[in-house]
Amino acid sequence: MRIVSLVPSWTETLLEAARSERHIEVVGRTRFCVHPQPECKDVPVVGGTKDVHWDRVVNLKPDLLLLDQEENPKFMAEASPVPWLATHVTSLESLQDELGRLSCHLQSESFRRWTEELRTLRAEAATGSLTLASTHPFFETLGLLKSAAAQLLPPAYVIWRDPWMVVGPTTFIGSVWQHLGVELSVPTGDEQKYPEVSEEFLKSHFCLFSSEPFPFARHWSHLQKEFSGALVDGESFSWFGIRTLRFLRELSTRP
């Protein structure tokens, strides 16, 4: 099946599946689809996640255009000149559902296997039997979070500056943190997925500065002087699909 993917997370996941399933072929991607290397470099770019060159898509003769409701605007589905499928990933639960749906649509053993693995991981977390690996680099951040909680500093996941913006618990990122036993904090009564916050709000929280979409890593030396917090790999929390599974798998002590 020839697939044009306009979702970076799905592009990475599809290319991983294509390594062992020859009937899956990614023939088009966005300029933001940068994983995995070197396979991604060989896939033609047809636009971005919010814009697309339809002539390039048509010329690639895809059997399927893959979209996601959180990643791509609705017009891409409405204007698509080729068959399309749109997922809707907002949590680990919905990721499990969409992996299962794609396993059927693509007739993919890899997607079926990943669906079952995520189901097992989620079940272990729900029953409290999931043990996190102390050897994983991220384990230190979880320790810092526990220390911050003792000091009454709730966690805030920061994704943007000017204005400051944090991530709410009802997002995919929030769902991954919940899986790890952490509930992200937002201003009281604010139900937005990505609310704007004040600097004073951040100073009363333990700030998890994401490496993307804002490049907080470049400003880390300054941020450390202003806030209590840690720098985290944004891709581990926001890129769903195979990257999510790898992160949770490596952080778990499961064999």
What percent of the chain has pLDDT above 70? 99
Q: Is the pLDDT of residue 253 over 80?
A: no
Rounded Cα–Cα distance for residues 219 and 67 (Å): 33
Lowest mean pLDDT among 42-56, 100-114, 136-150, 198-212: 136-150
Say which residue the tokens 């048509």 belong to. 58
Determine how many CB atoms are found less than 10 A away from the CB of residue 229.
25
> How much is the pLDDT for 194?
97
Q: Is 232 strand, coil or helix?
A: strand
Residue 163, judged by CB atoms within 10 A of its CB (0-12, 13-18, 19+), counts as: exposed
CATH code for 1-88? 3.40.50.1980
Mean pLDDT computed over 42-67: 98
pLDDT per position as a tens digit, 92-129: 999 999 999 999 999 999 999 999 999 999 999 999 88
Q: Is 123 strand, coil or helix?
A: helix
Structural domain boundaries in the chain = 1-88, 139-251
What percent of the chain has pLDDT above 90? 92
Rounded Cα–Cα distance for residues 94 and 241 (Å): 11
pLDDT per position as a tens digit, 11-49: 999 999 999 999 999 999 999 999 999 999 999 999 999
| Statement: the pTM of the whole predicted model exceeds 0.75 | yes
DSSP code for 184: P
14 within 8 A of 35, measured Cβ to Cβ: no
- Token duo for residue 38: 């070197």
Q: Which pLDDT band holds residue 255 (cuts at 50, 70, 90)?
A: low
Query: 220-229, long-range: CB within 8 Å, 24+ apart, which pairs?
Result: 227/202, 227/203, 228/148, 228/153, 228/203, 229/158
> How much is the pLDDT for 130?
81
Q: Which pLDDT band holds residue 238 (cuts at 50, 70, 90)?
A: very high
Mean pLDDT computed over 204-223: 96
143 within 8 A of 62, measured Cβ to Cβ: no
209 within 8 A of 231, measured Cβ to Cβ: yes
Domain 139-251, what fold? Answer: Rossmann fold (3.40.50)
The yes-or-no answer to whether 1-88 and 139-251 have a common fold is yes
pLDDT per position as a tens digit, 76-88: 999 999 999 999 9
Mean pLDDT computed over 147-153: 93
Q: Is the pLDDT of residue 145 over 90?
A: yes
Q: Is the pLDDT of residue 254 over 70?
A: no
Mean pLDDT of the chain: 96
